[in-house]
Amino acid sequence: MSRQPVTVTSNPRSGKRWTSDYACVSSQQDEQTGHSSWLPALPRRIGCILLSVGQDEFHGEVLHTINYVVNQSDYTVQILRNVTQYLSLAKNISVAQIFLPSDIMDDIDKMNVNLNAAADTLTDKTRENSVKIKKVFNLVRSALISVAAIMLVLALIGLVLSILGYQHAIHIFIVSGWLLVAITFILCGVFVILNNAISDTCMAMEEWVENPHAETALSNILPCVDQKTTNQTLIQSKQTINGIVTVVNQFIYTNANANPSKGAQFYYNQSGPLIPPLCYPFDSHMQDSRCGDQEVSIANASLVWQKYTCEVSTAGICTTIGRVTPDIYTQLIAAVNESYALEHYTPLLLSLQDCNFVRDTFRNITSSYCPPLDRYLKTVNAGLALISVGILLCLVLWILYANRPRREEVFVKLSSLIKGKGYRSSFESNSNNDVPSSNTSVEV
């Protein structure tokens, strides 16, 4: 009998004890969740760091590569512009009223038109493609930054709503989170495509370096100058140089080294050792030629001829020994400088003719720019993947946390039901104990 009240009175207490035990377990789980909440956030944080660093480095490297290509294009265009300018200046070369032949001047005019057209085409194509490429990568960068910002906002708002228990609102953010995960995976796919495209482009550049005259899509990135135009420009430059040398030597042979009588047309009292003529840098077949022993090259003509300059009177007549006056010497040097400038651009024109400048550009890109681009792309992909995993884990925690109040309500109802059953069993037990005692007293 003494054990029955203990059993009866312990029934409701057992319900309370079970409730408190659940609360302890729940609080322990909360503590564990609080201490381990950094686990699902860890991939997201690492992903954000990788995404931030990777996309910034990748975007900077892309711009660096594009600017390098544009600079190479500008350098080539500047060569063409300079050749055009020097050819135009050559038309004005004269030594003592001796000019270039008229046919050479006409060829220079025609060539300048072709050179300007080639320079404009190269500039337009390069600028157009660089603008398109920059636009695409700027859009991709904006998408990455937007995803990172939206992810941060959703994570913060979702955390606040989860703590406050706004279930309907948290459901909206859960759906938004799934959409964000989908967008993140789409961006991963986009960067995989970019990675493949850049890898294929780098490989195509390596193949093009081996076969530079093949017509490929790379021609749109940095097109070669039209080979016909470069050939004509190279030939015209050589012809112009030889024409200038002819003008100079014609004056030397007919005027400077002549000994005209006083009062003749080209008399200025020239005397002394004969001035050496200028060497032709190209032969009749426009191939390189060597200077003779009695000739001076274009490179050192100005120093040699300075020794043959005389002093002149106010009338322009030499008062000392010399073959040229200072004024004529200036005209000779101007012609030589023009020839030297055109000769200086001959190797550059040969480079354009063989498309070597494009080959060198692509070779430098494949060796110096492609490896960093590939490395930064992999970093961005890793960051996006970690962000996706982190968001998925956060969504799972949001769902569990949002449903937590319902589980507690169900448990409270269950606990109340257990309490009711405990009090009912206690009441029935007390009633059964009271009935026999009353019967006994009646019998007595």
Integer CA distances (angstroms), 80 to 83, 86, 302, in order:
5, 10, 27
Residue 304 lies in a domain: yes
Per-residue CA distances from 415 to 10, 252, 423, 425 (Å) = 15, 122, 12, 15
Q: What is the largest CA-CA distance in the chain?
A: 182
pLDDT tens-place string over residues 240-266: 999 999 999 999 999 999 988 888 888
Contact (Cβ atoms closer than 8 angstroms) between residue 241 and residue 342: yes
Question: Do residue 154 and residue 183 come from a single domain?
Answer: yes
Could you tell me if residue 150 is inside a domain?
yes
pTM, to two decimals: 0.67
Is residue 311 domain-shared with residue 350, that is, in the same domain?
yes
Tell me: pLDDT of 182 over 60.
yes
Same domain, 134 and 196: yes
> Are residues 212 and 85 both part of a single domain?
yes
Q: Is residue 114 part of a domain?
A: yes
Residue keyed to tokens 């093009």: 208
Same domain, 180 and 147: yes
Let me know whether 88 and 205 are in one domain.
yes
Residues 156 and 189 reside in one and the same domain = yes
Let me know whether 398 and 409 are in one domain: no
pLDDT (tens digit per residue) in 391-427: 777 777 767 765 655 544 444 445 555 555 554 555 4
**Residue bearing tokens 């979702």:** 158
The C-alpha angle with vertex 32 and arms to 26 and 37, in degrees rounded to 5, equals 120
Count: domains in the chain: 3
Are residues 251 and 327 both part of a single domain? yes
In a domain, 442, yes or no: no
Would residue 269 count as lying in a domain?
Answer: yes
- Cβ within 8 Å of residue 8, ≥6 positions away: 425, 426, 429, 430
Same domain, residue pair 271 and 384: no
Please give the pLDDT value at position 320.
94
Q: 304 with 369, same domain?
A: no
Determine, yes or no, domain membership for 104.
Answer: yes
Residue 414 falls inside a structural domain: yes
- Structural domain span for residue 270: 227-354
In whole numbers, what is the pLDDT of the chain averaged over residues? 76
pLDDT for the residue numbered 39 = 55
How far, in Å, CA of 90 to CA of 105, rounded?
A: 8
Q: Which of 323-327, 343-347, 378-382 has the highest mean pLDDT?
A: 323-327
On whether residue 158 sits in a domain, the answer given is: yes
Q: Per-residue pLDDT tens for 21-64?
A: 332 233 333 334 444 445 555 666 677 777 777 778 888 888 89
